[in-house]
Amino acid sequence: MTQRSPVETRTVEEGEDGMRLDRWFRSHFADLPHNRLEKLLRTGQIRVDGGRAKASTRLAAGQAIRVPPLPTAAPTSAPTPKALSKADRAFLASITLYEDDDLLVLNKPPGIAVQGGTKTTHHLDRLLEGLGDSPKTRPRLVHRLDRDTSGVLVVAKRREVAAKLGRAFQTRSVRKIYWALTNGVPKPPQGKVDAALVKAGGPEGDRVRKARPGEQEVAQSAVTYYAVVDRAGQTVAWLSLKPVTGRQHQLRAHMAIIGHPILGDEKYHGDRDLPEGIENKLHLHARRISFPHPSGEGVVDVTAPLPDHMRQSFAAFGFAERDEADAGAGAL
């Protein structure tokens, strides 16, 4: 049987400086479903220093968080991490690109969710829970990728490491390069897409669109640099993408906005008129990430190999996978 907790105010600790608000709640209230958290945020029941906040709000040490009444389990039913099977451990090992005492960098396969939802029970975050003894010691996601996007995903092994990396992502000292195949070839071959985004309402579901005049209060600024690395006539382009901001579906929406949706993207019409023989899967890959190591020593620089369906498409179009494409995007 559950009871309601009282309203309380909690202070953000030093080790939580830079942490996202949703991850702070996951750390302190592991049983709170994400959809319930989003509702509490939308209705203003959760406050940070007295003001409304979003799931993506970055916290600062010393801030006060208003925690509304929450359903709490009986004291004897504290959650324990679900032990990983041998198959789960083997899977995590197979997708690990880099590991040290502070970090894991994974090569996320397409089709697997990063975090759970109402109908999603198999996801990377659940597997990470099994690597810790409690919600406080479990590894933590530092950022996210869409379910159908593949590539580099950074995981912090401890809360204080997650906080440091959160600050790095917030200050944009993290360099991210994505590869994509698009329908048609953008002109000019190098450019910048600066288009604020808002969530699309109605039957479109989990999508975003370009903000319209008068929507400044709900719009999120979004900036992406792109460069055409190679092309197959005027049919398909291989792009190197560098997001300056990190909005939901940013790259997918920005490519659709300029008239060149990413191949296989069913949310933004990239699944229409696919070239013959090309698999109808999202052709978007987080190719490379680099950032200062949270220890203060050196730089982490990790590259993820292409997933099978993109490798097959590269071969079909005669594109040769090469590292100079990363360097070219970084120069934008």
Give catalytic residue positions.
146
Q: By the 8 A CB rule, do 160 and 216 touch? A: no
